[in-house]
Structure formats: C-alpha cells, structure tokens
C-alpha cells in the first residue's frame, strides 16, 4: 500500500493505519532519535508523543505521499523542543549542536573488513565533520533517504542538501587520501 493511501487511511480514523506506520518506522525513528539525544527515555517518550499526537490530530493532518520524512521532521522538532524545555535553553542553534552521530555512518562506509588503522583514520575523519555534515550523511547513507526527503528534514533547499553531502564526502576522502599517503610512505621507508 502506498504512503499516500496509508496516510489518508490514518486521516480518516483507521487505527490499523497508525499501527502499520508505527511498526514500519519505529526502529528508524528510534535510531535517528538516538543521534539527536543520548537519553533513550527522551527518545522513546518523544516517539510515543508523536504517535499519540498523530492519532489525536488525524483530522487536521495535511496530505503527504512521503511518511518517513514527515515523521523524521516531527520527531526532530519534538526532541529539540524537549531538550530546550529540560535545559531551559534559548540557544537558537541547538539543532546544529546536538546531532550526536557517533560511528553509524562510518560503520556503513567501512562495512567491508578493514584494518584497525583504517577504522581509526575514518573515525578521526568523521569526527572532523560538522554536526550538520554528520546528520546529512546519516540521513543519506544510513537511512537511505533521497535529497528531497533530506531537504525537508534539515529545512534546506535541494541543492544545498546535495552540496552539503558532497562537501562532507570530499572532506572524508581528503582525510583518507592523507592516511593512505602516510601509510604507504611508512611502508616504503620500512622496506628501504
């Protein structure tokens, strides 16, 4: 069943549609939420609140043909709102400071067997990325979203999303090239 059909069923009061959306997206929402907040209880509570609100406001929901980006945007807002309430923060750049991707992206990028040196180098390169670069790589490669979905979630235009992914990958690649050059330089010296 298409996202549009499931969403319209939810809007028309079909509880099974809500259950299907929950079953389909809970684990992805939870994984994404854990990148935004390390507090598992906060993430779980926000997901539960999101689905309760979906049900309670189903008659006011606008149409969508892409449920996943809608849920990701809603969860992101809910988590940051909760964090702001908890911290009583007025920081307007909270979203950019709290995307806490650890190694989910580089775990995917290094799924093939690599040496500990390569893993360490990639981890180091990944840590040099900005929080927004980490988030966009997570959405693109871990959550397998397209640029349209990413641009909605990150509140940026399509081209900006493509540019940010490109800059993040280029930064990782440059760091890895430096590592390879150093690695081969050490091996050549040791052979001499």
For residue range 65-103, list pLDDT tens digits in order.
Answer: 889 999 998 998 898 888 877 776 445 444 545 555 544
In which band, very low, low, confident or very high, does the pLDDT at 178 lie, cut at 50, 70 and 90?
low
CA distance readout (Å), 32 to 4, 14, 15, 41, 186: 23, 26, 25, 14, 39
Q: How far apart are CA 53 and CA 139, in angstroms?
A: 24
pTM, rounded to two decimals: 0.62
Fold of the CATH domain 3-96: Rna Polymerase Sigma Factor; Chain: A (1.10.1740)
Residue pair 69/153 in contact by the 8 Å Cβ criterion? yes
Domain ranges of the chain: 3-96, 102-191
- Any idea how long the chain is? 192
The mean of the pLDDT values for the chain is 79
The pLDDT, as a whole number, for residue 15 is 93
Q: CATH class for domain 102-191? A: mainly alpha
CB count in 10 Å sphere of residue 53: 13
How wide is the angle at C-alpha 127 spanned by C-alphas 124 and 131, nearest 5°?
165
How wide is the angle at C-alpha 54 spanned by C-alphas 134 and 40, nearest 5°?
45
Residue that the structure tokens 């790589």 belong to? 137
CA distance readout (Å), 108 to 15, 111, 115: 35, 5, 15
């Amino acid at each position: 069943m298409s996202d549009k059909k499931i969403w319209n069923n939810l809007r028309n009061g079909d509880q099974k549609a809500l259950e299907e959306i929950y079953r389909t997206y809970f684990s992805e929402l939870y994984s994404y939420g854990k990148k935004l907040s390390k507090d598992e209880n906060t993430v779980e509570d926000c997901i539960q609140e999101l689905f309760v609100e979906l049900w309670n406001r189903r008659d006011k929901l606008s149409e969508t043909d892409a449920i996943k980006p809608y849920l990701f945007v809603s969860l992101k807002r809910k988590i940051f709102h909760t964090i702001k309430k908890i911290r009583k923060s007025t920081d307007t750049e909270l979203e950019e400071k709290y995307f806490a991707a650890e190694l989910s992206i580089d775990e995917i990028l290094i799924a093939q067997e690599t040496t500990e040196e390569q893993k360490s180098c990639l981890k180091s390169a990944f840590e040099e990325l900005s929080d927004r670069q980490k988030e966009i790589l997570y959405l693109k490669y871990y959550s397998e979203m397209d640029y349209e979905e990413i641009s909605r979630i990150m509140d940026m235009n399509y081209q900006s999303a493509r540019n940010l992914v490109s800059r993040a990958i280029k930064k990782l690649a440059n760091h890895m090239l430096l590592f390879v050059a150093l690695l081969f330089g050490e091996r050549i010296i040791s052979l001499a």
